[in-house]
Amino acid sequence: MWLYLAAVLAGLYLLRRWHRERQTVPRLSEKYVLITGCDTGFGNLLARQLDARGLRVLAACLTETGAAQLRAAASPRLQTVLLDVTSSQSITAAAAWVREHVGDQGLWGLVNNAGIAIPTAPNEWLTKDDFVKVLDVNLIGLIEVTLSLLPLVRRARGRVVNVASVMGRVSFFGGGYCISKFGVEAFSDSLRLEMRSFGVKVSVIEPGYFKTVITSVENLENNILSIWEKLPEETKASYGENYLKEFFVKLRKLQEKYNSNLTLVTDCMEHALTSRYPRTRYSAGWDAKLLYIPLSYLPSALTDVIFTWSYPKPAQKA
């Protein structure tokens, strides 16, 4: 009896959620959305996806080549602007450009997608500058872009969509990437609470492992090898050549698990921008849903055992 009642209630809850999430925002063709990092990957695909749906896409690219290629693949509605999220001057100029385009209507959507993963390596192999390089793009740049455009988003009672990662929940490799994604989660949480009274909704996208330019194994291997060559001999001896070889083996095995269906991520972004009732968090990819996010709720002692089991073994142990 109670089991039957629980099943009915769960079914009604899921039906209500499905119905709410299918309701879309009206007059989408009138709404402006700015997306950062549109040269390649998620940003490029999302720009074309939203353009095809009729939204007024403002695509921020790092290079003129990327911008030109995107314009050639989209409708005349799509507009591009050059933006380096690590440059305050570039952000100020882009914000002025956006303000000129949207006018009194405001900016309906801001998608903070720009990001990098390199340099990455075991923490001891890296320098402060290696961490700063990643944090400047993935976190500090995201924050500055958001602060520059937030008045326009408030005016439209719009949306902010921040691209984090499952590595913003569990961190098992060194460098600034995981740190930056933890920071994106924290910034998004505080911003969501502050903006709630203004009618602005803030969503976080948490993809699993997807095959993009920044996750290219070849790029990661070259990066790690160049870092290894600069290490002091004492550090190299502590880890050993075999550690480096095993590291590369793990990376190649990881490549086999990459998901190449980027629409799983961009569909989440699109829903966050177009649904009347967007989610606070979106997980994209079965590895995110079934592995990394569940692991994030387990005791640290248990996750430590699981992650270190797959780590390379150093030459010199304690």
Tens of pLDDT, residue by residue over 125-180, are 999 999 999 999 999 999 999 999 999 999 999 999 999 999 999 998 899 999 99
> Which pLDDT score is estimated for 215?
59
| Region of poorest pLDDT, from 31-45, 68-82, 195-209, 215-229 | 215-229
Taking all residues of the chain, what is their mean pLDDT, rounded to a whole number? 91
Tell me: pLDDT of 64 over 60.
yes
> Which pLDDT score is estimated for 214?
58
Bigger pLDDT: 25 or 142? 142
> Which pLDDT score is estimated for 197?
96
> Which pLDDT score is estimated for 252?
79
Q: Is 311 a catalytic residue?
A: no
- For CA atoms 69, 73, 76, 82, give the dihedral sign: negative
> Which pLDDT score is estimated for 318?
54
Bigger pLDDT: 311 or 139? 139
d(CA 292, CA 240): 29
Q: What is the pLDDT of residues 241-252, one digit of tens each?
A: 898 888 888 877
Set 4, 13, 32, 177: catalytic member: 177
> Which pLDDT score is estimated for 213?
56
> Which pLDDT score is estimated for 195?
97
Domains of the chain, with CATH numbers? 26-210+260-285 (3.40.50.720)
Mean pLDDT of 183-204: 97
> Which pLDDT score is estimated for 133?
97
> Which pLDDT score is estimated for 35?
98
Q: What is the pLDDT of residues 65-99, one digit of tens each?
A: 999 999 999 999 999 999 999 999 999 999 999 99
Mean pLDDT of 30-40: 97
Bigger pLDDT: 236 or 13? 236
